[in-house]
Every structure is written in structure tokens, then in C-alpha cells.
């Protein structure tokens, strides 16, 4: 696994704009029975997309995929994949094989979580705001592709602060 070397901070405004762009791509594919958001990252984009597509039935599939140590560290580049754990997905009877459902996540990275959710709902339409090359083949629709060595900082994970310009960081 490649350790992230680049960072890509995303503001609330940018996430909203990009999630709305995703909704524009999805409107021609629907209508959908409902949305299944992959928690936690898929919750905010799912809310925006649900509003834009006028979808009222929203559910979640709750999976954790990073080790507890990584979650406690919270620093880019140290995240190691842990065991995938399904924390909540008992509504699968309602989803069936996924026909007519829309799965939303913020990002597909290595594809481990996407592959797991695909097994739960193989016929659902899977959409993410961001996609990295390793996971890209597992999603049907996305808006922005970033390199595999980029760590995306979502607005719920960051606070504004000063950082050195890229050129100064690169010289160190």
C-alpha cells in the first residue's frame, strides 16, 4: 500500500458543490428507491444528494475499516487497513440485491469497503464524490479522481490553520 504523500483539503463549500455535481450526474440514472450512505463519510454527501434528487428514504450501512490505533493517531500517511467490521447493516432485507438503490460514499480509496458493500448490494448503483485509481473500478459514478498517494482531508476532519507553501515543504 502506498503511503499518502500529498494532501487535498476539501472545504464545506467545495464538498457541497461537488456533491451537487454528483447529483446532476445521477439524476439521469434514477429514480432510486432510496439511498444507502456508507458511514461516516457518506452521510454528508448522501444528505445533499437526497435533497437534490428528492429522495426521502435514506438508510446507512455502518462499516469500520481502519485500525483503532490509526483512528486515535489521526495523521495522514499512518493509516493502515484494519479488519472490515459491519457495525450495522441489518436492513439488508429491505435492500434486497440492491436493485433500484443508490449507495453513496465520500471516497473510494483502496476499494476494500466498496467491495464489501458491493457484496451486500450487488445491483445497486454505487456513487462517490472522490475516487482513487485502486477503487475506481468498483464505483459506477464519481466526480473527482485523485492520485492514490493523496490523502483527502474532509471538512469534518480539519480546522483552518497555516501551512507552509508546497515548495518549502518539498525542500525539507
- pLDDT of 45: 97
More confident residue, 79 or 6: 6
The Cα–Cα gap between 112 and 110 comes to: 6
Given a contact cutoff of 8 angstroms between Cβ atoms, the answer to whether 101 and 32 are in contact is yes
- pLDDT of 148: 94
The Cα–Cα gap between 112 and 60 comes to: 17
More confident residue, 124 or 77: 124
User: What DSSP line would sit under 20-34, residue for residue?
Assistant: HHHHHHHHTT---SE
- Owning domain of residue 19: 6-149
Q: Is 59 a known active-site residue?
A: no
Residue 1 in any domain: the answer is: no
What average pLDDT does range 4-17 have in this prediction?
89
Question: What phi, psi does 69 have (nearest 5°)?
Answer: -65, -40
The Cα–Cα gap between 106 and 93 comes to: 24
Of 97, 106, 140, 149, the active-site residue reads 106
Q: Is 109 a known active-site residue?
A: yes
What average pLDDT does range 21-33 have in this prediction?
95
Read off the pTM. 0.79
- pLDDT of 86: 65
Count up the domains in the chain and report the number. 1
Asked whether residue 153 carries a pLDDT value surpassing 70, the answer given is: yes
Of 59, 70, 90, 109, the active-site residue reads 109
How far, in Å, are 11, 45, 155 from residue 16 at the CA level?
9, 7, 11
Could you read off the pLDDT of 83-113 as tens digits, one per residue? 767 666 655 667 778 889 999 999 999 998 8
**How sure is the predictor about 65, in pLDDT bands with cuts at 50, 70 and 90?**
low
Of 90, 97, 105, 140, the active-site residue reads 105
Could you tell me which residues come within 8 angstroms of residue 53 by beta carbon, excluding any fewer than 6 positions away?
Answer: 23, 26, 27, 30, 31, 32, 35, 102
Residue 166 in any domain: the answer is: no
Residue 81: CATH number of its domain = 3.40.50.2020
Average pLDDT over the chain, rounded to an integer: 85
Could you read off the pLDDT of 124-152 as tens digits, one per residue? 999 999 999 999 999 999 999 999 999 99
The Cα–Cα gap between 140 and 119 comes to: 15
Sign of CA dihedral 128, 130, 135, 139: positive
Residue 98 in any domain: the answer is: yes
Residue 74 in any domain: the answer is: yes
Asked if omega into 40 is within 30° of 0 (cis), the reply is yes
Residue 164 in any domain: the answer is: no
Q: Is 106 a known active-site residue?
A: yes
Residue indicated by cell numbers 429514480: 31
- pLDDT of 73: 45
- pLDDT of 76: 47
Residue 161 in any domain: the answer is: no
Residue 59 in any domain: the answer is: yes
Residue 117 in any domain: the answer is: yes
- pLDDT of 72: 47
Amino acid at each position: 500500500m502506498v503511503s499518502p504523500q500529498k494532501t487535498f483539503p476539501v472545504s464545506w463549500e467545495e464538498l457541497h458543490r461537488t456533491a451537487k455535481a454528483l447529483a446532476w450526474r445521477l439524476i439521469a440514472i434514477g429514480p432510486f428507491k432510496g439511498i444507502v450512505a456508507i458511514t461516516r463519510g457518506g452521510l454528508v454527501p448522501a444528505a445533499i444528494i437526497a435533497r437534490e434528487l428528492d429522495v426521502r428514504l435514506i438508510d446507512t450501512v455502518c462499516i469500520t475499516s481502519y485500525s483503532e490505533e490509526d483512528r486515535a493517531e489521526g495523521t495522514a500517511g499512518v493509516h493502515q487497513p484494519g479488519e472490515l467490521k459491519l457495525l450495522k447493516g441489518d436492513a439488508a432485507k429491505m435492500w434486497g440485491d440492491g436493485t433500484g438503490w443508490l449507495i453513496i460514499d465520500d471516497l473510494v480509496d483502496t476499494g476494500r469497503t466498496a467491495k464489501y458493500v458491493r457484496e451486500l448490494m450487488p445491483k445497486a448503483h454505487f456513487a462517490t464524490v472522490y475516487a482513487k485509481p485502486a477503487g475506481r473500478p468498483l464505483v459506477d459514478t464519481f466526480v473527482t479522481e485523485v492520485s492514490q498517494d493523496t490523502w483527502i482531508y474532509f471538512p469534518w476532519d480539519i480546522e483552518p490553520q497555516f501551512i507552509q507553501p508546497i515548495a518549502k515543504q518539498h525542500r525539507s
